[in-house]
Chain A
Amino acid sequence: MSDETPVKAVQVKLVLLGEAAVGKSSLVLRFCQGDFNENTSPTIGAAFLTQKCRLENRIVKFEIWDTAGQERFHSLAPMYYRNAQAAVVVYDITKAASLEKAKAWVKELQRQANANIVIALVGNKLDLVSESSSTPATVTPAAQETETEGEDGEDDSAEESITPTPATESDDARQVPTAEAEAYAKESGLLFFEASAKTGHNVGEIFTEIAKTIPFDTITPEPATAQTGNRRSAGNHENNNVNLGEGQQAKKGGCC
């Protein structure tokens, strides 16, 4: 909540996509929690979280939209994709089918979203297959992860507890070879990461890399990202969007 920085933040809408239970919400919660103390647990059911990412020359403020479960029956509204400048498409490296789903989401993004959207493909749950085979990769992490699952909550916890990952041979859990996913990402022009929401491994890197990749200089400010019209950053030319909630700013402390 430090206000002293003189650098203006650029706001970026980032959408999450991927099959249920791959850990979309956990990745974001990990990313957003990284910056502040562990106890402020964010509200379950938040529609979007925000988190800042500092680069050398600018601050990028991510407004991160979760699917709120609307991906389950493919009922995500066009509003979801509208003006998204970045997307994180998540799959679970211990479930081959989830990569296929991720590919379908990438296609959907190419159909629905801005042409110049930056897409990162993220294989989550790296902790379950960690090379350092000493990592206990079973019930405990699964339980912890579902704890931080937001909207995906119930569904996920059910699935994850029903299908406990094989314990001893941790690398057996991997169903998606790194090389395969990476090759797909490369040919489709996506950023690629394997990460663990549980340990935090590589999570910050995803967002930093996205922030670096977004072509800010060529982006023309889109009208729809400007709900807070009067307070828009200076880089965007003045538009006359109306802030409906004015006079309603009695906010309790934000989390990020």
Chain B
Amino acid sequence: MAELESDHYDVIVIGTGLAESIAAASLAKAGQSVLHLDPNVYYGGEQASLTLDELSSWSNTINQSSSSSASSSSSCHSSSIRYHSSSTTPLTPQLENDRRRYSLSLFPSILPSRGSLIDTLIASDVSKYVSFKLLDSTSIYAEEGVKKVPGSKEEIFKDKSIGLVDKRKLMKFLLFATGEFENDDLLKGKEDQPLSTFLQGTFSIPQQLTESISYAIAHCSSPNDQTLPALQRTRRYLKSIGRYGGSAFLVGQYGGAGEVAQGFCRACAVFGGTYVLGPTAAPTSIETTPDGVLIQIPCHPRPVTASHLVSAPIHLPPSLLTCSNTDTKETTSSNCIAITATLPEALRRRSLSVEEDDEEKPEPENDDTAVIVFPREENAVRAYINGEGTGSCPAGQYIIYLSTAASSPSTSPSAILRPYLQKITNEPTFEAYYVATRPSYDAIKPESTGNLVILEPYIGDYMLTEGLDWEAKQGEKAYYAIMGREGKGFFEKDPTDEEEMGFGEDDL
């Protein structure tokens, strides 16, 4: 077995999640020597995109580890995301045969066209390794079936199902929501109101439309979400429309987040970073020293030192985690990853109640990606569908992600989510269910100290639309924690830089 080239690195990064990978790439770009380790055999950590067989074994592993670690509940254990209660249906011979053609995301998410991750992708040139498509549609499920929601002003104009008066109210609201509303009198004192109350009270928007706005434009988990944060999200999403097309959101190919993480890892390697994955990269001990950190890893015969260590809490020994010992409030979410070989009705393209044109037109192509919201008493169930165009599954198939904030941890995720899966498809060829438990916002704030930079996992209810940008922000934070604010900026280009990430662009 080859050993590392050095006993010392400027920075050791543990875990190849998106935030870690962004941190690693930015540090290597700034000239730091980086050793990047991941005890998993796959890239991506919490953001991994897995093949079918990898997902099955991931599912087995989390069940084993959750039962074994239940007794050893150190108080700091809860600063990491924990997965449990997972189940998968067996792989059919066909699936077994094609298992490597799937990229199934543990972090299903769409990317707003304006925000931290987009900026980071462009600044780092990692945008050249990864590809995105526009999200095709956002729909709300109602009794009569799936209803597409107009996402932009143009679509609202065209939508015949909205009356003229309501359209005017809606426009007035959209104008308000794209502006600097923080100090607007219309909002004063109502920041904490439920969004639906605010919309109905202040803008006289009818109830049915408030639902559309809450779920499909603000991407709330419930119309009762607080107004101010919902408005802030709305503003960002509205401003994202038009940057790359009619949709505010992009869909990453090949499983999204995991592929993006790989792109940053490659960028780090190009700038000299060293990569070791798998069991030989799992540190057997991590300790802080006056000059930094010292770790022992199976892939190297001697201890390895570094001036800084970047890691999510999950890879750190409890001794390095200082936790505030308040009541650990946790949020749990139930999740499903399913595959079907039949077109979900929600993706069938119908002309959006515009006038029929008489011209002979070829059958419109069906949608390839969609977000569908199922309103519920409590938190909505959100579905996110990836078709073959995302490169995440074989032709003619669809991956369906379902997620909801679960109210009772005792109910199995399949009991909660299968009814919703069945509204999308009657013929799933594969189903996986699991529960993710995340620490609540205020319970644990892992303290980064001088040499140790701890990345915080995303813990809110808006992972679908906010998770990727959270990761990018964490990566940037880690960069500045190590490099300081005075020197070179995060992925700042040297004026003398040649095209570093590939040159000889299209010159034809």
Contacts and interface: CB of A to CB of B under 8 A. Distances in A.
Interface of A: 1, 3, 5, 8-9, 32, 42-43, 45-52, 59, 61, 63, 68-70, 72-75, 77-80, 82, 111-112, 151, 154-155, 222-224, 226-229, 231, 239-246, 248, 251-252, 254-256
A72 B271 contact: no
Contact of B502 (A8, A46, A72, A248): A46
Q: Nearest 8 pairs between A and B by C-beta?
A: A256-B504, A68-B269, A254-B504, A244-B127, A75-B275, A50-B504, A77-B262, A79-B262
Contact of B259 (A79, A239, A251): A79
Given A79-B254, A244-B118, A245-B127, A254 B508 contact: no
A239 B265 CA distance: 27
Contacts of A154: 5
B334 to A, nearest CB: 28
A72 B2 contact: yes
Given A49-B504, A256-B504, A227 B498 contact: no
A49 B281 CA distance: 31
B254 A77 contact: no
A94 to B, nearest CB: 20
Contacts of A63: 502
A224 B253 contact: yes
A151 to B, nearest CB: 7
A92 to B, nearest CB: 17
Given A79-B259, A242-B134, A228 B506 contact: yes
Contacts of B275: 69-70, 72-73, 75
Interface of B: 2, 5, 43, 100, 118, 121-122, 125, 127-134, 244-245, 250, 253-254, 259, 262-263, 265-267, 269-272, 274-277, 280-281, 299, 389-391, 498-508
Interface centre among B128, B131, B499 (most CB of A within 10 A): B131
Given A3-B508, A79-B129, A254-B507, A47 B267 contact: yes
A104 B507 CA distance: 36
Contacts of A5: 508
B97 to A, nearest CB: 12
A103 B308 CA distance: 39
Given A45-B500, A48-B502, 13 more contacts: A5-B508, A9-B508, A47-B266, A47-B502, A72-B2, A75-B276, A77-B265, A79-B254, A82-B391, A155-B5, A240-B134, A254-B507, A256-B503
A46 B503 contact: yes
A8 B266 contact: no
Contacts of B131: 223-224, 226-227, 229, 241-242
A254 to B, nearest CB: 4
Contacts of B130: 79, 227
A246 B122 CA distance: 9
A147 B506 CA distance: 28
Contacts of B503: 42-43, 46, 49-50, 251, 254-256
Contacts of A52: 508
B63 to A, nearest CB: 25
A3 B506 CA distance: 10
28 contacts: A1-B507, A3-B508, A32-B504, A45-B270, A45-B271, A46-B499, A47-B125, A47-B266, A49-B503, A50-B503, A70-B275, A72-B275, A73-B276, A77-B265, A78-B262, A79-B130, A79-B254, A79-B259, A111-B100, A151-B269, A224-B253, A224-B391, A227-B131, A244-B127, A245-B122, A251-B505, A252-B498, A254-B503
